Amino acid sequence: MAEMNAPLIISKDFIDMKKKLSFKEYLQVASMLFGLFFGAGNLIFPVHMGQMAGNRVIPAVLGFLLTGVSLPLLGVAALGVSRSNGLFELAGKVGKKYSYVFTCLLYLTIGPFFAIPRCATTSFTVGLEQILPGEHHTLFLLAFTLVFFATALYFSLSPNRILTVVGKVLNPCFLVCLAIIAVAALLNPGAAISGVAPQGDYMSQPFFTGFLEGYNTMDALASLAFGIIVVRTIRGLGVERDSDVAAVTVRSGVYSCAIMAFIYVVITIVGTQSRGLFETSQNGGIALAEISRHYLGYTGLFVLAATVTLACLKTSVGLITSCSETFSAIFPKGPAYRVWVVIFSAASFLFANLGLDLIIAYSIPVLMFLYPLAITLPLMALFGKFFDNDRAVYIPVTALTLIAALYDMLRTLPDGVRAFLHVDPALGVIKEVLPLAKLGLGWICPAVAGLVIGIVIHLVKKRSTKKA
């Protein structure tokens, strides 16, 4: 997840005469896309994937790029084409009740339940945990997260005081620090990639395992929440027609995605080569810290820790602000914005103290449930003109995708939870009969079936209307 940059301010006279964007303006939009989607969380998973994938790193990173880069672009483009004023309106194409449920689930996932707590725990894991005595880990985590979220709460109550200032400094510092570490690691690799054996599912299914690993960035979900910011920026530059907005989004997105893809590839390779120096880490945060300390000593570790902490803090402020604004908007009779800020900050503090490993373990099932829905919704919105955005198409696609996504959620629950629920026998049967289920993509065929059903209903309705 990543950092929110301040929206571009364009004069009205400039807008009135604007027809085509210059290359510089494309880069401005691309910079915003990069700032929105790339944060500290985008570092820890590629590093860990690289350690796990070993010499199967190329197909693994290709799968990761598909979900970690292409899907966020899809979400932003869908908002541009559909002219939706955000996720709540976009999800409303399925139904009003669904819009409330899906919007709340998505924002809670990228907010206080997973993404925001992950920001704090990642900062701690990369920084203080590597320096402080291990016997007081729980106490230090509590103290760190208390300070972290107290600061996030303070700035979230008036977010403009930090977002603009940090936004101008953070990304360059972040990239410079990362470049130093990456160059040092690439010039002095710990091991040849060809000599590193893959582990786990990467041995047999590196592409699809990398594909599912890309879910962990949460950027496809974030694109539905923050994509409207990019769309509004493009319209502010003078682009009005839906087709032009989509074209500009895609073109500028290509520039942004090229940078992101390059960074992902480099980080993943660094992770793979680190296997010659360290054993596979429990998570990417530990791996990144170990790599930084090996090549740059404790100085590099401190610089990395400070940079990641600032990145995570800014991300947390942006997410707390976004979640609070959304909930106060869709529940106008509920708590005010500032009350939501306190609620989300407090909840994030509590969940952060569960630790990074536990947060990741329980976030995976939720992501496996939400991601298929976050893929089908923008796809339908993107091509909605071909079926007049008929709810008769949206509903069966969403319903069948949701049912299949429930299976993926249940099968990725921690072993103890699955054993408690006694679902393993049923999951085993579904795995054998549902196409692509073994690859973690069991939702695809039901989604296609829902699309066929929806199109048939739409055509029948259209024919009946013509006869009437």
Confidence of residue 14 (pLDDT cuts 50, 70, 90): very low
Ranges of H-type helices in 331-442: 337-352, 356-382, 391-411, 415-421, 424-433
Q: Can you give the pLDDT at residue 227?
A: 65
216-262 pLDDT, tens digit per residue, is 888 888 888 776 667 767 777 788 777 787 778 778 777 888 888 99
User: Which DSSP string do the residues of 195-253 spell out, in sequence order?
Assistant: GPPP-GGGGT-HHHHHHHHGGGG-HHHHHHHHHHHHHHHHHHTT--SHHHHHHHHHHHH
Confidence of residue 3 (pLDDT cuts 50, 70, 90): very low
349-364 pLDDT, tens digit per residue, is 999 998 778 888 888 8
> Side chain identity at 93, as an amino acid letter?
K
| 268 in Cβ contact with 60 (< 8 Å) | yes
Phi first, then psi: give them for residue 86, nearest 5 degrees: 120, 180
CATH classification (class only), 12-356: mainly alpha
Separation of alpha carbons 376 and 396, rounded Å: 11
Q: Can you give the pLDDT at residue 238?
A: 81
Confidence of residue 170 (pLDDT cuts 50, 70, 90): low
Distances (CA, A) of 40 to 165, 175, 178: 18, 11, 11
Mean pLDDT of 106-119: 90
Confidence of residue 300 (pLDDT cuts 50, 70, 90): confident
Q: Can you give the pLDDT at residue 169?
A: 64
- The closest of 31, 24, 23, 25 to 5, measured between CA atoms, is 31
Is the pLDDT assigned to residue 150 strictly greater than 90?
A: yes
Is the pLDDT assigned to residue 343 strictly greater than 90?
A: yes
Q: Is residue 86 left, alpha or beta, with left meaning phi > 0 and alpha meaning psi from -120 to 50?
A: left
Tell me what percent of the residues of the chain surpass a pLDDT of 70: 90
Distance of CA 275 to the CA centre of its chain: 26
Mean pLDDT of the chain: 84
Q: Can you give the pLDDT at residue 4?
A: 43
Where do the domains of the chain lie? 12-356, 383-468
Is the pLDDT assigned to residue 12 strictly greater than 50?
A: no
Q: Which of 123-137, 271-285, 441-455 has the lowest mean pLDDT?
A: 123-137
Mean pLDDT of 203-211: 93
Q: Can you give the pLDDT at residue 387?
A: 92
Is the pLDDT assigned to residue 47 strictly greater than 70?
A: yes
69-97 pLDDT, tens digit per residue, is 888 888 877 877 777 767 888 899 999 99
Its pTM stands at 0.81
Q: Can you give the pLDDT at residue 196?
A: 93
| 77 in Cβ contact with 378 (< 8 Å) | yes
Separation of alpha carbons 5 and 31, rounded Å: 9
The helix/strand/coil state of 176 is helix
468 C-beta neighbours (distance < 10 Å), count: 5
Is the pLDDT assigned to residue 127 strictly greater than 70?
A: yes
Confidence of residue 319 (pLDDT cuts 50, 70, 90): confident
Q: Which of 39-48, 348-357, 417-426 has the lowest mean pLDDT?
A: 39-48
Separation of alpha carbons 257 and 77, rounded Å: 13
Q: Which of 37-46, 237-246, 281-290, 384-393 has the highest mean pLDDT?
A: 384-393
Q: Can you give the pLDDT at residue 164?
A: 53
368-396 pLDDT, tens digit per residue, is 899 999 999 999 998 888 899 999 999 99
The helix/strand/coil state of 423 is coil
96-109 pLDDT, tens digit per residue, is 999 999 999 999 99
Mean pLDDT of 139-167: 80
Separation of alpha carbons 133 and 109, rounded Å: 32
Q: Can you give the pLDDT at residue 23?
A: 80
